[in-house]
Amino acid sequence: MITIEEALHLVDNAIKPERLNSVQELILTQCWAGKTYQEIAEVSGYDPDYIRVVGSRLWQLLSEAFGEKITKNNFRSILRQQVGTVEKKQGNSGSMSALELPQTPVPMDSALYINRFPSESQAYEEIVKPGALIRIKAPKQMGKSSLVMRILAQAQTRGYRTVRLNLLQAEDSVISNLQRLLRWLCANITLQLGVESLLDDYWDEDLGFKVSCTTYLQGYILGQLDSPLVVALDEVNRLFNYPEVAQEFLPLLRFWHEEANNVRVWQKFRLIVTHSTEIYIPLSLDQSPFNVVLSLRLTKFDCEQAQELAQRYGLDKSEPPLQLEELKSLQEVVGGHPYLLNLALCHLMTQNNDVYKLIKEATTETGIYRDHLRGHLAFLGKYPELADAYRQVILSTEPVKLDPIAAYKLESVGLVELRGNEAVPMCHLYRNYFSDRL
């Protein structure tokens, strides 16, 4: 059992360089005590809807920090698990006590972050340009969140204002409705900037939703800022399930980007967009926001990057030290997948440094990847058509051409790697595990 003080300390360390504001700390403390949003509003004097919105942003912030879905209902148990994992790690090795858990986005002050040259330098150069638009594409757990954190931190050092939004936090009823999506976007930007909401004053259905949203951002939000505003919009691929909305929303992003050439105030607006799959919504070349931007594609770690990460863990100085041949064997199993590699190296440093035992048990119910693999198996169990498509991929020794939507969905969760129009398993670990279970 942990105390609320320990929970607050854990959260403070996890969200660095950000900090909880007074309202977020109030909500976390009161929810820990079992209070409802209505009860929190009554004792604090805040409007209940305001408490709900701030609470939603708090769970989003914690989800990004800890790398898993956190809600008002499960945050206590997840924070307890995090404390238990840290204590266990500290008990096994004092030298590892400062290292982060591999399932979390890599913190800003971490020695474990591996640069994806030249992605970081290109992004840092781009974000200072008027009207910048950066696109980051990679499957889940490949490092998008860690890179976005660093771009935003670079922006903050220049005095820019930053806002981070994740479409995973928006309900389906929001994503599937253009007006609600645009109001959600404006409301969240307003909230994170800490300014008064005048959204209803600017919203005019006769002018249209896109014009209303644009006017609000241009005339109210950007108009009052004396520095650039960087908005990071994560998991844009959620829109791909709603083509009619995506075909209206994505061109709007391009319009805002191009307005920097026409309206001076839009030069302050900088946008980072992340997504997990290729864009399979039909957009003409003059509408797509992704053919006029800096496009970064995060790939798996190569042998040199894997070796550097092992050294960051101190495995080159462990007893016995990790040999290059052992690392190559591990690399072959996980295919350079950043999360899978981090999990293995952390285990080798803190639990057991027998690489070949780890590899032998990798696909078993006692292996270190059991929870990760079960999660993918449960996902496929919900979607039989995707399970059938994936079965074709893992049973074939050659790349397989799949239905485009099935291919994109499997790629988005990181189960396959697309080579042109054909799919192969992301790594040997997945092929070996799922060939026995599908």
Question: pLDDT (tens digit, 9 = 90+) per residue, 355-391?
Answer: 999 999 999 988 999 989 999 999 999 999 999 999 9
3-state secondary structure of 214: helix
**Residues shown for the chain:** 438
Q: What pLDDT score does 11 carry? A: 87
* pLDDT value of position 99: 43
Distance CA 102, CA 62 (A): 15
Query: Domain 119-297, CATH 1.20.1600.10 — does that match?
Result: no
Q: CA-based angle 346:349:354, to the nearest 5? A: 105
Residue 90 burial by CB count (10 A; 0-12/13-18/19+): exposed, middle or buried? Answer: middle
Residue 95 confidence (pLDDT)? 38
Predicted confidence at residue 395, as pLDDT, reads 95
pLDDT at 87 over 70: no
Q: Residue 401: pLDDT band by 50, 70, 90 thresholds?
A: very high
Tens digit of pLDDT for each residue in 260-280?
Answer: 999 999 999 999 999 987 665
The mean pLDDT value of the chain amounts to 87
Which string of b and e fits 281-292 if b means at least 16 CB within 10 Å? bebeeeebbbee
Reported pTM: 0.74
Share of the chain above pLDDT 90, in %: 58
Residue 404 pLDDT grade (very low, low, confident, very high; cuts 50, 70, 90): confident
- The Cα-based distances of 128 to 169, 230, 256 in angstroms read 28, 10, 16
**Within 335-397, where are the H helices?**
338-350, 355-360, 370-382, 384-395
Q: Domain ranges for the chain, please list them.
A: 4-92, 119-297, 371-435
For residue 78, what pLDDT band results from cuts at 50, 70 and 90?
confident
Q: What is the pLDDT of residues 47-65, one digit of tens each?
A: 777 788 888 889 988 988 8
Whether the per-residue pLDDT at 282 is higher than 60: the answer is no
pLDDT at position 82 is: 76
* Residues facing residue 275 across a β-bridge: 137
Handedness of CA 168, 25, 111, 100 (dihedral sign): negative
Q: If you average pLDDT over residues 272-300, what whole number do you get?
A: 74
pLDDT of res. 104: 60
Q: How far apart are CA 199 and CA 185, in angstroms?
A: 11
Question: Which amino acid belongs to residue 260?
Answer: A
What 8-state DSSP symbol labels residue 317? S
DSSP secondary-structure letter at 241? G
Least confident piece of the model among 107-116, 161-170, 400-409: 107-116
Write phi, then psi, for 401 (nearest 5 degrees): -85, 120
Listing DSSP states for 124-171 in one string gives HHHTTSTT-EEEEE--TTSSHHHHHHHHHHHHHHTT-EEEEEEGGGS-
- Higher pLDDT: 45 or 60? It is 60
- Which of 105-114, 184-193, 363-372, 413-422 shows the lowest per-residue confidence on average (mean pLDDT)? 105-114
CA dihedral 77, 78, 82, 87 (to 10 degrees): 10
Q: How far apart are CA 95 and CA 311, in angstroms?
A: 14
Residue carrying structure tokens 């058509």: 385
Beta carbons of 141 and 209 less than 8 angstroms apart? no
